[in-house]
Amino acid sequence: MKIRLVDYQDGLSARYGTSSSPFGSLWLVWTESGIEQLVFQDHGETDPFRVFPRLDKSRCFNRDDAGAATIVQTLFCRPVGDAPQENSLTLSAQGTVFQRRVWQALLSIPFASVTTYQQIASAIEQPKAVRAVASAIGANPVAWLVPCHRVIRSNGELGGYRWGLSRKQQMLDWEQAVPA
């Protein structure tokens, strides 16, 4: 699946919902522009404004768990070999210019591969900005799709992960299990 990051559009009506995934329950927010947020649900939270504290509450939100489940079914399908992916997915994630540059670099990490924070900093031509890169990765509002789980420390350790190191390891293992 090809994923592209587009500019966030303010004020659009949005749908949101919860669904199960291979890595636990998640919440999803999307508009006609694309997926804005995907976060894992660890504590049974049912209020989307607590799950997504950065949501603009003045917008119109409609709950659509069935729509979320349909999207999630597509998001977690495993790519098969080198077959061309006909599907494309649009992300409309809100972030600073720097964050979006980092997220765009994350989108270039091949499936089932890992990279380091330093390599991402170098990829965006800011090799001394490793801590800022790590912060931008931690601010990623679209888990799994902007693959921050594929970034590890230079020494080979997993580093941090907003949704827990065990989930990060589970994601990396799941990707490695895809037949070549």
| Catalytic position from the list 148, 151, 152, 172 | 148
77 is catalytic: no
23, 24, 176 from 46: Cα distances, Å: 18, 15, 33
Distance CA 167, CA 173 (A): 10
Distance CA 121, CA 102 (A): 8
Where are the alpha helices (H) located in 40-176, listed in sequence order?
48-51, 65-75, 97-107, 117-123, 130-138, 165-176
Q: Are 35 and 29 in contact (CB under 8 A)?
A: yes
Catalytic annotation, residues? 148
